[in-house]
Amino acid sequence: MYCKDYYFVGVRNTKYGDVANKMSETRYLRVNPSCPESYLIAQGAEVIKKGGLVAFPTETVYGLGADGLNMDAVLKIFQVKGRPRGNPLTLHVASLDQARKLVSSWPPTAELLAKKFLPGPLTLILPRSEGIPDLVTAGLPNIGLRYPSNRIALELIKASGVPLAAPSANISGCPSPTGAQHVLADLEGKIDLILDGGPTEVGMESTIISLAGERPLLLRPGGVTKEEIEEALKEEIAVANSVLHPDKASGEEESRCQGVNNKQYAPRAQVIMVTGSPGEQVTKVKNFLAANRGRKIGVLATSEHFPIYESFSVSPVYLTALGSRTSPEEIASRLFSAFRECDQAGAEMVLVETVAPTGMGLAVMNRLCRAAEQHQI
């Protein structure tokens, strides 16, 4: 049984319209995030066991889950998302014991990071074991493993009895979903079930670190920061070229893990990064709005500058404060939903203030570089 009333509260007034006639295609269940109802989780597990697709919350973004050991089920993920098959998937597990069974080696570095950060927003890249479909790893010798902390995710994995292949539950290239309504907007009628556990906490995908080489390599910044990993390992870690320069990937694993040939995380509107000092950013936004009078431009501002932009004589079609410049975690949690809101407002272009690429700010800048395809003022 699904929650019709809850479904309509979130969707009826969006640009995606009233889709009640499609409810029979994608079931929608609201689940208590702090104490998931076992009978609802069981319905999700039953879909997984039958080779179907279930969208579910993690602490980072919503994932699109399938039996990670069932090649036919995994294939559906690529088809539904429009995801290139050369882009490998991550397997989600509910314990470290389950993770160790999926790899051919578990080095001391993996053990140290696992004990420090897992369950949590960190993906470890390790040499794969036999039995994992090539489709999951895109033919690469390594596998990404993720042990989420979200209770709904953990209960679903346990009840399913298999590791779940689960990329973000959106159309490839679009902003990742941080709420169940985002999943519904992208995938309604295309998947079997959505488990709504409310908004995600981190709001940005997990950190990906490869432990398959001679030294740890940060492939994607996320909920666990580079600085936190270095503190745990007591050493400086390498950062992939593509983290802030998507067009400069080196090595097959980096290229294919990052998907650098495709624009990622972007709304339909053109994203433009606003660089420079805080004062310079304000001036650039003001001048850009004045020079593009009459065009539909959205502005994603830091909290410090939001009141200034409200007073401009040329108003943006959409304006919101992502969070304080001193709190990139807050900005990260709002970025993807703000991208979607800009599309709903009909924005043609979106100006986004940049932040320092340190701490969680590195993850924010990584997503902005990918969404903007390096367009900046």
Enter the tokens of residue 295: 């065009």
> What tokens appear for 259 in the block?
């998907």
**Assigned domain for 207 exists:** no
Q: Are 54 and 152 within 8 A, CB to CB?
A: no
Q: What is the DSSP letter of 213?
A: S
Residue 87 is labelled as binding a ligand: yes
Extended strands (E) in 136-222: 142-146, 164-165, 193-196, 207-210, 217-220
More confident residue, 189 or 246: 189
Residue 79: CB partners within 8 Å, gap ≥ 6? none
Give the residue from 297, 84, 52 showing the smallest Cα distance to 173.
84
Establish if 327 belongs to a structural domain. Answer: yes
Query: Which CATH number belongs to the domain containing residue 277 in this structure?
Result: 3.40.50.11030
Q: Is 337 annotated as a binding residue?
A: no
In a domain, residue 242? The reply is no
pLDDT for residue 252:
58
The radius of gyration computed from the CA coordinates of the chain, to the nearest angstrom, equals: 20
| Residues 208 and 219: beta-carbon distance below 8 Å | yes
**Residue at token pair 């919101």:** 320
Residue 168 marked in a binding site: yes
Count of helices and strands (H, E) across the chain: 14, 15
Is 60 marked as binding a ligand? Answer: yes
367 is in an annotated binding site: no
For residue 280 the two structure tokens come to 């310079």
Using the 3D structure, point to which of 196, 228, 259 is the last residue of a domain: 196
18 found inside a domain = yes
Residue 311 labelled as part of a binding site = no
Q: Quote the percentage of the chain above a pLDDT of 70.
A: 90
What is the predicted pLDDT for the residue at 13?
27
Query: Domain residues for 115?
Result: 4-196
pLDDT per residue as tens digits for the range 265-292: 999 999 999 999 999 999 999 999 999 9
| Residue 250, annotated as binding a ligand | no
Q: Identify the residue with better confidence: 257 or 151.
A: 151
CATH number at residue 135: 3.90.870.10
- Total residue length of the chain: 377
Q: Which two tokens stand for residue 111?
A: 């053990």
Is residue 294 classed exposed, middle or buried when 0-12, 13-18 and 19+ CB atoms within 10 A define those classes? exposed
146 annotated binding-site participant: yes
- pLDDT, greater one: 246 or 315: 315
Tally of domains within the chain: 2
Q: In angstroms, rounded to a whole number, what is the distance separating the alpha carbons of residues 344 and 257? A: 30
Predicted confidence at residue 20, as pLDDT, reads: 33
Q: Domain boundary at 196, 220, 236, which? A: 196
Q: Mean of the pLDDT values across residues 346-362?
A: 97
Q: Compare 262 and 126 and report the one with higher pLDDT.
A: 126
pLDDT over 60 at 5, yes or no: no
**Low-confidence winner among 140-154, 166-180, 246-260 (lowest mean pLDDT):** 246-260
Q: Is 359 exposed, middle or buried (0-12, 13-18, 19+ CB in 10 A)?
A: middle
Helix H or strand E segment including 296: none
Residue 370 labeled ligand binder:
no
